[in-house]
Amino acid sequence: MKLSSAVEAMADGQLDVRVSEHSGGELAVLERGFNQMAARLEDAHLNLQERIEHATAQLAHQARHDSLTGLVNRREFESRVEHAIAVARAGETEHALCYLDLDQFKIVNDTCGHAAGDELLRQITHLLRTRVRGEDTLARLGGDEFGVLLEDCRLDDALRVAEALRRMVEEFRFTWQGRVFVVGVSIGLVLITRASKSLSEVLSAADQACYAAKDKGRNRIQLYQADDRELVERRGEMNWAARIAQALEENRLLLYAQPVVPLSAPASEEQHVELLLRMLDEEGNIIPPRAFLAAAERYDQMPTIDRWVVSAACAGIRRYLDRYPDRQVVAAVNISAQSVDRGTMLPWIADQIAAARIPPESLCIEISEAVASLNFAETMNFVQGLRLVGCRFSFDNFGCGMASFSYLKNLPPDFIKIDGSIVREIAESNLSRTMVRAINEMAGHLGVLAIGEAVDSPQVLAALREQGVLWGQGHWFERPRPFNEWLEQAPPPPEPPIEGEARVLSFPGGKGETRS
């Protein structure tokens, strides 16, 4: 009966149950065997429970910490900042938040590989830990970004801590396989006070201040102040970055087309058009590129935009060739410096051309002279790659830089667009006329076609003709209009305008605009 009761108790989960061992014979064997089995089951259960608790603790730690550095991660950091905001709003104390971004991390990562980048982050983590108080929170927020929450810390003390962190990183030298790197750090500092409203507001302020520090030359501290003009501009750009991302997701980018026309006979059999970027806002209004491209460049959104533009251009060229199989077309699109610097852009362009089944020479990639000046070696590699793909290449905004003729000699394009700031003044300025004539003559010697931009009056048109420029683009001929509309109503290749004639710009179903 005792054995039977013990077995029932064990079945109910009572693993510590035992029976007295006072019997003899076979019952004694059963009693000892039961107690041994119960003891082993209890030990196994306790061991399993320990392992479960240990694994649970590990998972909880991993959920709150960064695996590479062992620091608190972004989620846990934001939770602690949120608590600090609540304490400050209650009026109990003030805190400070530092947002740190390493200045030269990308160079180490790109030149030495990710293993070097990881080791740099671990060493920087060790340094930062030596300067942070025990009650403060040091976190890795992602990539090469760190956060420091200084609890119960006034402004003067926060500035001293931030300066100590900055100076320590500045003096640090990272060594990898015999190479020595100077790193540096930009720090955005924001106070958490009774006036602080929310976690997103505090983090956004710190981020704005950090990037303002980078804009001012890097390796410095920027204190966030709500009325700081530069930070107000930064906030506006951050808002634009979010709007651009949403517009990309909702397919609210669109292309406008403006033709390039011959200024003198003979007319070309090829239709040449430049495609210009626009964006629709949330209400369907047209937003010009000058309103959002600066933000797109700052927040590294240009490569995504450039890919959209190239894809849309290739699709449009295919539609044109399907509609007019006996005609030829060249569609020009601008590419940003960020895309020129990335090795993935050229293969992607080639893939788009192949997918659209268009002649490579029907796509012209325009690169501004300013982009070439930022990184001439990368631009040269990119242009050589374009030649291999079969695309045409054009220099945009040409003539406004000091090294224009050097670029023309070393990177001979198919076309050059003479900068509009020079062309607009050609009728009144001897210097502009001289520059246009020199550019056009140099282009002619190299077999390059020169195009005058911003032809907006008959006087400019006449002056361009006088300097021998054969092609032009501007509102005098036609204002930009939606690419889809241009594809549906594309005229045959344009004839050169008669000097002094009035231009009547009319399209089927639309109103004409007379310019004389």
Catalytic positions, please?
144
DSSP state of 362: G
Instruction: Name which of 190, 80, 225 is nearest 141 in CA terms.
Output: 80
Contact status, residue 343 vs residue 110, Cβ threshold 8 Å: no
Q: Is 361 left (phi over 0), alpha (psi -120 to 50) or beta?
A: alpha
DSSP conformation letters of 290-306: GGTHHHHHHTT-HHHHH
Cβ atoms within 10 A of the Cβ of 489, count? 12
Q: How far out from the chain centre does Cα 447 lie?
A: 37
Q: Report angle CA 336, 338, 340 to the nearest 5 degrees.
A: 75
Instruction: List the structure tokens of 211.
Output: 């990037």
Q: Where does residue 399 fall: left (phi above 0), alpha (psi -120 to 50 degrees), or beta otherwise? A: left
If DSSP codes are grouped into helix, strand and coil, which group holds residue 104? coil
Q: Whose CA is closest to 446, among 415, 418, 469, 420?
A: 415
Task: Return the residue matching tokens 């005058």.
Answer: 452
Residue 106, token pair as written in the block: 């990308």
DSSP 255: E
